Amino acid sequence: MRIGVPREVKNNEFRVAITPAGVKDLVTEGHEVYVETDAGAGSSISNEDYEGAGATILPTADETWERAGIVLKVKEPVAEEFHRFREDLTLFTYLHLAANRDLTEELCKRNVTSIAYETVQLPNGSLPLLAPMSEVAGRLAPLAGASTLLKPNGGRGVLMGGVPGTHAADVVVIGGGVAGANAIAMAVGMHANVTVLDTNLNRLREIDELYAGRVRTVASNVLEVEQAVTNADLVIGAVLVPGAKAPTLVSNDLVSKMRPGAVLVDISVDQGGCFEDSRPTTHADPTFLVHDAVFYCVSNMPGAVPRTSTFALTNATLPYIKAVAAAGFDAAVERLPQLSSGLNTRDGKVTYEPVRTAHGL
C-alpha cells in the first residue's frame, strides 16, 4: 500500500500524522510511505529522520496526496485541500464531520472513503484513537485557563492556587470523561478549588474516591450547571457525544451572569462546542469576549505541544493503520470490528449515523 503523510496546514498546527518509528514499521511490512517535505518539522522530526526510517520525501502536498492510496492526517482537511480528494482515496484522520457540513458534502461528492479517528469505538464505549488527544487537551485546558485568567490577558487576575490567606480559583469542569479527568488532575495539581459535573454517577464516585473528597462532585442538571458556572472563575467544557455535535450546556444568558473576567475553555469546540457562543479560534488569536467573560476555543489545542501529541497519536493509531494498509478497510474490519464505527463516508454516502442526523443527510 502507498501511504501519504502531508504537512498540516491549519493555523499553528505543528503535529504530523506519524513518527519515524511508525514509518519503520510500515516499511518493514512492505508498504511505501511518502512524506511531504518538512511535514514533521513542527514536531522536531526532520526529513532525514523519516528517510532513515525508509520514507520517501516528496516536495509538494499535491504529489504526496496523488501518490497515496491512504492519506494520514491529524486535522480535518480544509477547503484548500478539497481538490485533492478522489474516488480511490482512503483518508484516515480526525474529521469531526458533525460540525462541518462543507467537508462532509465534499467527501461524499468525491466518493472518498473516510475513517475518523474520533469515532472508532471499542465495545466498552471507549474511543481509543481520540483518547490520547483528549488527554493532551484536558491537561492543557487548565494551563490555558490559568494564562487567560491573568489580567493582561483579559481575565479576572486570579492565581489558580492563590497564596496563603487568599482564595484559590474556583474551577468547574463539565464532563468527567477522558478530557475532563485530565483537566481535573491538572487543576487539582495547581491547587484550585475544583468542581466536576457529570450525568454518570458511577464516574463521579470514581473521581470522588480517586481524590478522597478533594474534588467536589455534582450530578449534572440545568440548575446545578447554572449555579456552578455563575460562581466560577474558570469553566472547562469537556462534554463528548461520540461523533455527534456537542450539546449546548452553557447559554449566552448564563454567561451574562458570570463574574467579569471569568474564563471559559471549550475543549469540545471541534464538535461544535458545549457553550452557546463557542466558535473555533486559533493559537494565533485564541480568545474573544462574550459579555464580560473570556472564551478560549482553540480547535487544535494539542497542536501547541506537537512533539508530545504526535508520538501519543502514533502510539494509538499505528495498529489500525497497519490493519487497513495490509488488506484494505473491509478486511481490516474483520480483524478489528471497532473500525466499522470509524467509517464516516463511503461511495458518496454518509455511513455514520450521528453525522447523518447532524446534517439531515
Residues taking part in catalysis:
96, 270
The string over 88-98, giving b where at least 16 C-beta atoms fall within 10 Å of a residue's C-beta and e elsewhere, is ebbbbbbbbbb
Which residue is associated with the grid cell 449566552? Answer: 252
**Torsion-angle region of 35 (φ positive above 0: left; ψ -120 to 50: alpha; else: beta):** beta
Give the three-state DSSP class for 63.
helix
User: What nine digits make up the cell of 142?
Assistant: 487548565
DSSP label of 341: G
C-beta separation of 37 from 59 below 8 A: yes
Q: Give the span between the Cα atoms of 141 and 143, in whole angstroms.
A: 5
Q: How many CB atoms lie within 10 A of CB 307?
A: 16
**Among 28, 85, 73, which Cα is nearest to 55's?**
28
**Among 165, 174, 148, which Cα is nearest to 287's?**
148
What is the sign, positive or negative, of the torsion defined by CA atoms of 22, 23, 25, 29?
Answer: positive
Which residue is associated with the grid cell 514499521? Answer: 25
Q: Give the span between the Cα atoms of 44 and 60, in whole angstroms.
A: 19
